[in-house]
Amino acid sequence: MLEREEVLYHEKRFGHLPGIDVNHVFGSRCEMVAIGLHSHWLNGIDYMGQDYAKKEKYKGYKMPIAVAIVLSGVYEDDKDDLDTIEYTGQGGHDLTGNKRQIRNQRLERGNLALKNSMEQSIPVRVIRGHSKGPHKTYTYDGLYKVAAYREDAGVSKFAVFKYLLKRLQGQPKLTSNLVHFNHGRSSKAPVKTPGLVCPDIAKGLEEVQIPVINTIDDTTITGFTYTKDIISKLTLPAYTSGCDCKGYCSNSKHCACAKLNNGEFPYVRIQGGRLIEPKDVVFECGPGCRCGPGCINRTSQRGLKYRLEIFRTSDKGWAVKTKDFIPSGAPVCEYIGELRRNNELDNVADNDYIFEIDCWQTMNGVEGRERRLGDVSLSVCKRLGNADENEPEFCIDAGHVGNVARFINHSCEPNLFVQCVLSSHRDPRFARIVLFASDNILPFQELTYDYGYALDSVVDKNGNVRTLPCNCGTSECRKRLY
């Protein structure tokens, strides 16, 4: 694209780029190069060189002038507080990747460009890097002014240029509540996460911690107990016999559980296991099977493995974001709570955390429910007897006890989908409700799924229809949740 001059904004310019909004997420630096937001693969500072001084519209400007910087945590002296940044100039650091300074910096190239931007009051675009490893992503944080600069002795005792950047007022609020790096080692004081309400709402029950962050108000989470297992006083179906595969299931023609999934395994062994496609119901191996816990057909049973964070929003209450890259088809979490009968629920109108188990209704296409690909024979599931097949009989109530899934918001254009899973038995009335990624989800994105309410389907205790506006903000928003 560079060679063919197909970059969207191939000429460098000051300020915002049309069409690139604050908080826009880029999956790689090459995306920013292709657009022209930042034109370098590796350099932190993008600037206009002396060639731009020859252009008519830039006559009178002192070149070079910085137009954009990338915050990637490359320099050990960087300090970042979102709205105020102490940015270390370029040059002098160890290119082997240990981020240590090994020689003095010079006031040239990008360093001189930032100084000239300050003296001419020209703001720079700031792009912030997130995460580590192959799935690093970047968000556009908007325009910052270079408020001051100085030459100083860095942590490693070499001369570095430090630039004080301050975010311009009147821009959209940054959606990230985290400071992602602060490498300066001059202070031994612990770094406190802004707005930290609770370091781990799961209290060690999950393999990964789930922090709670609130930078909006003083609201906390009360009257809720975290659990990673379904709680039930009901008599559950007995375990059913399963496959006799040894170790793990590998032959779909031999595996009895694979035969229930139309003779195939529903998962592929990529990135920890991914669901190939949504189904009416997924039959997994369970307690009655001879295969071990590493079997690919137990993918959704392995608990929480992605780092999640509960955070407060200004218009949707609590929400959940991922701090890791989640591949399409990966199980994210199960909806956990108390298993109850629908006709025994009290104060339903005041409880927004009830999830009806409508696996049987989905399999039969009841009330317009959409059948999915990979339909299975209804004969393999336990019959309902005299139950009303038009209405779900059981639900999961996460009003007072549950897991992280209860905090995931609705969206009319979600990045998760609901999948019914049967593992220990074959009764769809008690199916497990698992949320899977419907597409690749980048780090620091909010997790959402479609609650599936029909309009005018929710009534209060007096029989009056309740309505609730939808604030998902997507282009496909239906304007009402129910």
C-beta separation of 20 from 68 below 8 A: no
Do 127 and 32 contact (CB within 8 A), yes or no? yes
Is 463 inside any structural domain?
Answer: no
In a domain, 1, yes or no: no
The answer to whether residue 200 sits within a structural domain is: no
3-state DSSP helix/strand/coil % of the chain, to nearest 5: 15, 25, 60
Clarify whether residues 95 and 159 are in a common domain. yes
User: CA-CA distance, 144 to 31, in Å (whole number)?
Assistant: 21
3-state secondary structure 57-108: HHCCCCCCEEEEEEECCCCCCCEECCCEEEEECCCCECCCCCCCECCCCCCC
385 and 274 co-located in one domain: yes
Beta bridge partners of 129: 138
d(CA 349, CA 468) in angstroms, rounded, equals 12
Q: Is residue 184 part of a domain?
A: yes
Count: domains in the chain: 2
Same domain, 182 and 314: no
Residue 481 forms part of a structural domain: no
Q: How many CB atoms are closer than 10 A to CB 303?
A: 13
Answer whether residue 224 is part of any domain: yes
Domain with residue 115: its CATH number is 2.30.280.10
User: Is 228 found in the same domain as 187?
Assistant: no
Cα dihedral sign, 113-114-116-117: positive
Clarify whether residues 114 and 68 are in a common domain.
yes
Tell whether 392 and 281 lie within a shared domain: yes
Residue 343 and residue 228 share a domain: yes
Same domain? For 291 and 364 the reply is yes
CA–CA gap between residue 398 and residue 230 (Å, rounded):
10
pLDDT tens track, the chain, 482 positions = 878 888 888 889 999 999 899 988 888 888 899 999 998 877 889 999 999 999 999 999 999 999 999 987 544 555 666 788 889 888 866 555 555 667 888 899 999 999 999 999 999 999 988 754 456 788 899 999 999 999 887 777 788 889 999 999 999 888 653 433 333 444 444 456 788 999 999 999 999 999 999 999 999 999 999 999 999 999 989 888 899 999 889 999 999 999 999 899 999 988 889 999 999 899 999 999 999 999 999 999 999 999 999 999 988 999 999 988 898 999 999 999 999 998 888 665 567 899 999 888 777 767 656 655 444 545 556 554 445 566 788 999 999 999 999 999 999 999 999 999 999 999 999 999 999 999 888 888 899 999 887 777 677 777 788 788 898 888 888 888 87
Question: Are 187 and 234 part of one and the same domain?
Answer: no
What is the secondary structure of 118-187 as a DSSP string? HHTT--EEEEEEESSGGG-EEEEEEEEEEEEEEEEE-TTSSEEEEEEEEEPTTSPPPS------B---S-
Domain range for residue 324?
Answer: 212-449
Task: Tell me, yes or no, whether 7 lies in a domain.
Answer: no
User: What CATH number did the domain enclosing 238 receive?
Assistant: 2.170.270.10
The reply to whether 61 and 109 lie within a common domain is: yes
Q: Tell me, yes or no, whether 363 lies in a domain.
A: yes
145 and 243 housed in the same domain:
no
Say if residue 159 is in the same domain as residue 49. Answer: yes
Classified as helix, coil or strand, 310 is: strand
Residue type, 92: G
At residue 219, what is the residue type?
T
Sign, CA dihedral 91-95-100-102, equals: negative
The encoded tokens of residue 18 equal 């049309």
Query: Which residue(s) pair with 26 in the sheet?
Result: 138
